[in-house]
Structures are given as structure tokens and as C-alpha cells.
Structure 1
Amino acid sequence: MNSTKFSTSSKRAASISSPNGVRASDTSDELRLAGVDFDGDKLIARFANGGTIAVDVRRYPRLERATPAQRKKWRLIGKGSGIHWESLDEDLSVENSLFASAKKAA
């Protein structure tokens, strides 16, 4: 079952790759994170351009075991290129974690 969804700001489906061929290390608005939410077993990353990517939280054992309160205590790192949970000692980057997980699930 495909548990990953990526959408652009125009809300149409897109492939699980860096939009417009831009690498996350470029940290353009296309790939700059704006926030993160959880919906059941999905981690939903929100991008500055309005796009989202949803990945199965079971790919990240610390986040899977975390309480809802712990999951809410995150901060953006690297000018929006990643997310950090201090109390969980967990870091996810756009390029190496989120897009990699999305590709594995596709």
C-alpha cells in the first residue's frame, strides 16, 4: 500500500522527487519546511510554497512511540531544511529523510 502523498501548491499530484529538479540542499521555497502535523500514522510535512508530503510515521520509531504532546514540540532547523524534536533526539531533513522515505513507500 502506498502511504506517501506529495502535492504541490496547486494541489495536483506530483512525483516523489524534488519539485522542478531542485535539490533540498538548495533550500528554495519549493523545499523549505513551514511546519509539521500528524494525522493518525502519517507525518505531514508542510512546505513554504503550500505543498505537503505525508509519510508513514512507523518509519521513525522515536516519533511512532512519542506521545502527542512530544510530537507537538518540534522546531525547524537549517532555515527550514529539517525538523528537530529535542525531547526525542530526532532530526528529519527534507532531502535525506522525508523524500527518501517517500521514495521507499512509492
Structure 2
Amino acid sequence: MSTVATGEARIREVRVTDAEITAQLVDGRTISVPLAWSWRLSEATPEQRANVQIIGNGDVAHWPDVDEDISARGMLAGTPAPRQKQFA
């Protein structure tokens, strides 16, 4: 018998605390990253953090109030959100 991993990680549920972003994946894994990795969520209110939609068949968590998207792939790869460049 052989076991084969299937496709990409898909998000089932996301929670944001004052310290971290935690995603429950469809396959049962739990992954988390520091809240500081998302400057938009770091600056958001608790209500804005709670308003999250899972989109793209579970590929991405989207927070419409702060225009933030975080993928399971990015969380697993350890890719923080880049901060916007300030133009003078």
C-alpha cells in the first residue's frame, strides 16, 4: 500500500488573536503564524479580524474590511505580507 499526499493545503477555518493567525486545514492540520506577519491584520480591529471569508476552494483566507489575503501555501512557506511602499 502507498500513501500519496493530495494537492495543495486547503483552509477550513481561520482565527486571529492578538498574537497569531491560526488556520485549520481540511486535512486536519493546524498551522499558525505570528500576527505581525500581516501588518493589515495587526492594525485591524477585532471585528475586522473576525470578518473573514474562505475563498478559492479553501486556498485563501480573505478579510474584506482590510483588503488582506493570506494563503495556506504562504503560511506553510513562511511568507509574511510585504508592507506597502511609501511614496514621497
Assess same fold via TM > 0.5.
yes
CA deviation profile, 1:43-71 (whole Å, cap 9, x unmatched) = 11111122100100101100111111100
Deviation (angstroms), 1:39: 3.3
Q: Which residue does the alignment assign to 2:63? A: 85
Correspondence list, 1:1-106, <5 A: 26-27=7-8, 31-95=9-73, 97-101=74-78
Counterpart residue identity of residue 36, structure 1: V
Q: Is the 8 A contact 2:17 2:35 kept in 1?
A: no
Q: Give the C-alpha shift of residue 32 in structure 1.
A: 1.4
TM-score by length of 1: 0.64
Contact 1:34 1:80 in 2 (8 A): yes
In structure 1, runs of 5+ residues without a counterpart are: 1-19
Give the alignment's Cα RMSD to 1 decimal. Answer: 1.8
Q: Percent identity?
A: 32
**TM-score (normalised: structure 2):** 0.76
Count of matched residue positions in the alignment of Structure 1 and Structure 2? 76
Where relative contact order (Cα < 8 A, 6+ residues apart) is larger, the structure is 1
Runs of 4+ in 1 over 4 A off after TM superposition: none
